[in-house]
């Protein structure tokens, strides 16, 4: 009898423990994670006046993100599993050698899997070149820089089961950047040859020493004088908590060394930290103005750059708005984009006022090419977009729009290149400022150019008053 009672108590206790994450959601739900990512909301049974067929899937995601004591349990689970099984419960974390952690999001690049096509690399290079052309047309010096993935620099600490490919998206992109005349800074070999450790062991990003090395190379590339910080004293403290470490041990991460240097610039904008979406700085005894489109790698880079420019503007907003180049009149424009996020340059298309190109023409062909025009009130522009028939796209095909107004005046613009969910690599888009259209009626030709052979693959007439406003 006592054995049965003990067994029943054991079963009840086991079920009670299993129910804690669910039952405890009413009192101790997880509503914020150490990763600071946006969590899902409670799913609705009805969506758009129809039964939500994804309800149970969404409910599973909601529970996975919100169950009670989530971060404590994730930490405990990883503390148990990692030493015993050599694995990690978080699929986004790769446990490397010498206590190094890597982000799974860079693994395909490392292995050479799901690589971008040559067409996609050409599209990225052209998109960057069009940004460069616009910046230079406004009198700004342009530079593109892509901080390398941690495992691109420190492959020796990756697990032996992963074999590094001989090439990567970035290494292949360099050939297209060179071909298109893009002014870019390649940090990979410089970082590989550095005697210092330039990345955090438990973070996806470079450490302050790595940011300092990146800043030095940027200033050299821009041919500007700069403080090397060789003889500048700094303070150290074990205060930096790595983003990968927080994914793995959200309640018990290991802090790493952080270096602090003295700076003399002032922050003019509302400021929380260097990850703010918009930051303005000023240093009166310096010259030049910097506009930098940046991501999270800019967190450590920003102080070094801000200390060398009289006025600096740093934005994390996407899509990039190059109207800011016209408004802020920077002497220098930097686009900084991490290696693992390069494919986003095919979907996060910048807002760039169209720049004039040589007039193009050719024989007109009937195709399935699409073209739509909308008014974009946010950017005081007309927004042109569409897709090209695949049979008229080759690896290095360029796309142009030629507009002719009611008076017979013509203007030609190269479009940006877009990857879409439905049409793959055949998308295009263009922002044309309202002031460019001086008559109500106009005609548009969509033209492809391959090896200097042009063809009109779509032609339409439009009236400004009949164009709808974008949502």
| Residue 127 shares a structural domain with residue 63 | no
| CA angle at 238 for the pair 236 and 243, rounded to the nearest 5° | 120
Nearest-10 crossing angle of helices 208-222, 298-306? 50
Q: Which residues of 386-411 are buried (b: 16+ CB within 10 A; e: fewer)?
A: bbbbeebbeebbbbbbbbbbeeeeeb
| Residue 327 shares a structural domain with residue 384 | no
| Residue 383 shares a structural domain with residue 419 | yes
| Residue 154 shares a structural domain with residue 211 | yes
Separation CA 315–CA 331 (nearest Å): 16
Separation CA 148–CA 278 (nearest Å): 24
Is residue 82, in this structure, part of any structural domain at all? no
| Residue 256 shares a structural domain with residue 278 | yes
Please tell me whether the peptide bond between 355 and the residue prior to it is cis, using omega within 30 degrees of 0: no
| Residue 212 shares a structural domain with residue 144 | yes
What was the pLDDT predicted at 422?
80
| Residue 41 shares a structural domain with residue 157 | no
Question: Residue 116 class from Cβ within 10 Å (0-12 exposed, 13-18 middle, 19+ buried)?
Answer: buried
Is residue 73, in this structure, part of any structural domain at all? no
Query: Pick from 346, 377, 404: which residue ends a domain?
Result: 346
Task: Read off the pLDDT of residues 251-268 as tens digits, 9 standing for 90 and up.
Answer: 768 999 999 999 999 999
Place of tokens 């995601």: 61
| Residue 229 shares a structural domain with residue 339 | yes
| Residue 413 shares a structural domain with residue 434 | yes
pLDDT above 90 for 369: yes
CATH of the domain at 367: 2.60.40.10
Is residue 20, in this structure, part of any structural domain at all? yes
Nearest-10 crossing angle of helices 118-137, 169-180? 50
Task: Read off the pLDDT of residues 208-226 as tens digits, 9 standing for 90 and up.
Answer: 999 999 999 999 999 999 9
User: Cβ distance 330 to 291 under 8 Å?
Assistant: yes
Distance (Å) of CA 67 to CA 20, 159, 257: 9, 32, 33
What was the pLDDT predicted at 121?
98
Question: Residue 56 class from Cβ within 10 Å (0-12 exposed, 13-18 middle, 19+ buried)?
Answer: exposed
| CA-atom Rg of the chain in angstroms | 26
Residue 270 gets the label, from left (phi > 0), alpha (psi -120 to 50) or beta, of beta
Report pTM.
0.84
Is residue 13, in this structure, part of any structural domain at all? yes
* Residues 327-340, mean pLDDT to the nearest whole number: 98
Query: Pick from 296, 327, 346: which residue ends a domain?
Result: 346
Distance of CA 328 to the CA centre of its chain: 23
Confidence of residue 29 (pLDDT cuts 50, 70, 90): low
Is residue 79, in this structure, part of any structural domain at all? no
Task: Read off the pLDDT of residues 86-145 as tens digits, 9 standing for 90 and up.
Answer: 455 567 899 999 999 999 999 999 999 999 999 999 999 999 999 999 999 999 999 999
Residue range of the domain that includes 438? 356-466
Of the chain, the percentage scoring pLDDT greater than 70 comes to 81
Q: Where are the alpha helices (DSSP H) in 142-225?
A: 150-153, 169-180, 188-192, 208-222
Is residue 375, in this structure, part of any structural domain at all? yes
Is residue 315, in this structure, part of any structural domain at all? yes
* Residues 13-18, mean pLDDT to the nearest whole number: 56
* Residues 432-445, mean pLDDT to the nearest whole number: 92
User: Cβ distance 248 to 340 under 8 Å?
Assistant: no
pLDDT above 60 for 239: yes
User: Cβ distance 70 to 24 under 8 Å?
Assistant: no
Is residue 90, in this structure, part of any structural domain at all? no
| CA angle at 416 for the pair 428 and 361, rounded to the nearest 5° | 75
| Residue 307 shares a structural domain with residue 195 | yes
* Residues 166-174, mean pLDDT to the nearest whole number: 97
| Residue 204 shares a structural domain with residue 231 | yes
What was the pLDDT predicted at 52?
72
52 CB neighbour count, 10 Å cutoff: 15
Separation CA 137–CA 114 (nearest Å): 36
| Residue 342 shares a structural domain with residue 395 | no
Neighbouring C-alpha atoms within 13 Å toward the C-beta of 33: 23
Q: Two tokens at 226? A: 């700069």
Separation CA 299–CA 246 (nearest Å): 17
* Residues 61-85, mean pLDDT to the nearest whole number: 54
How many structural domains comprise the chain? 3
pLDDT above 80 for 350: yes
Mean pLDDT of the chain: 88
């Amino acid at each position: 009898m006592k054995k049965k009672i003990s067994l029943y108590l054991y079963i009840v206790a086991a079920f009670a423990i299993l129910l804690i994450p669910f039952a405890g959601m009413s009192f101790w739900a997880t509503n914020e994670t150490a990763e600071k990512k946006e969590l899902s909301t409670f799913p609705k049974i009805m969506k758009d006046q129809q039964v939500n067929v994804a309800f149970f899937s969404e409910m599973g995601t909601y529970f996975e993100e919100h169950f009670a004591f989530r971060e404590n349990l994730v930490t405990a689970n990883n503390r148990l599993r990692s030493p015993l099984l050599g694995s990690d419960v978080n699929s986004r974390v790769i446990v490397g050698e010498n206590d190094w952690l890597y982000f799974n999001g860079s693994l395909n690049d490392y292995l050479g899997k799901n690589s971008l096509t040559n067409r996609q690399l050409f599209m990225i290079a052209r998109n960057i070149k069009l940004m460069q052309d616009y910046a230079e047309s406004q009198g700004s010096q342009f530079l593109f820089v892509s901080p390398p993935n941690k495992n691109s620099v420190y492959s020796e600490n990756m697990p032996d089961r992963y074999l590094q490919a001989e090439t990567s998206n970035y290494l292949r992109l360099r050939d297209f950047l060179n071909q298109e005349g893009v002014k870019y800074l390649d940090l990979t070999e410089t970082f590989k040859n550095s005697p210092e450790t330039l990345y955090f062991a438990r973070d996806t990003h470079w450490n302050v020493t790595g940011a300092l090395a990146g800043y030095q190379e940027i200033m050299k590339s821009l041919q500007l004088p700069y403080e090397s910080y060789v003889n500048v004293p700094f303070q150290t403290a074990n205060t930096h908590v790595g983003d990968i470490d927080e994914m793995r041990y959200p309640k018990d991460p290991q802090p790493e060394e952080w270096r602090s240097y003295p700076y003399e610039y002032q922050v003019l904008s509302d400021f929380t930290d260097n990850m703010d979406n918009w930051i303005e700085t000023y240093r009166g005894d310096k010259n030049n103005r910097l506009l930098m489109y940046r991501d999270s790698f800019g967190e450590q880079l920003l102080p070094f750059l801000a200390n060398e420019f009289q006025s600096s503007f740093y934005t994390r907003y996407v899509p990039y708005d190059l109207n800011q180049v016209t408004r802020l009149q920077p002497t220098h424009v930097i686009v900084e984009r991490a290696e693992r996020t390069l494919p986003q340059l095919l979907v996060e298309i910048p807002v760039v006022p169209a720049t004039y190109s040589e007039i193009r023409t050719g024989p007109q062909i009937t195709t399935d090419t699409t073209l739509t025009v909308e008014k974009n009130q946010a950017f005081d522009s007309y927004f042109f977009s569409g897709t090209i028939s695949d049979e008229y796209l080759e690896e290095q095909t360029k796309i142009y729009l030629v507009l002719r107004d009611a008076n017979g005046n013509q203007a030609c613009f190269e479009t940006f290149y877009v990857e879409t969910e439905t049409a793959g690599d055949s998308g295009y888009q263009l922002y044309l400022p309202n002031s460019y259209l001086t008559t109500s009626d106009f005609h548009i030709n969509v033209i492809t150019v391959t090896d200097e052979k042009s063809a009109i693959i779509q032609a339409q007439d439009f009236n400004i008053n009949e164009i709808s406003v974008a949502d």
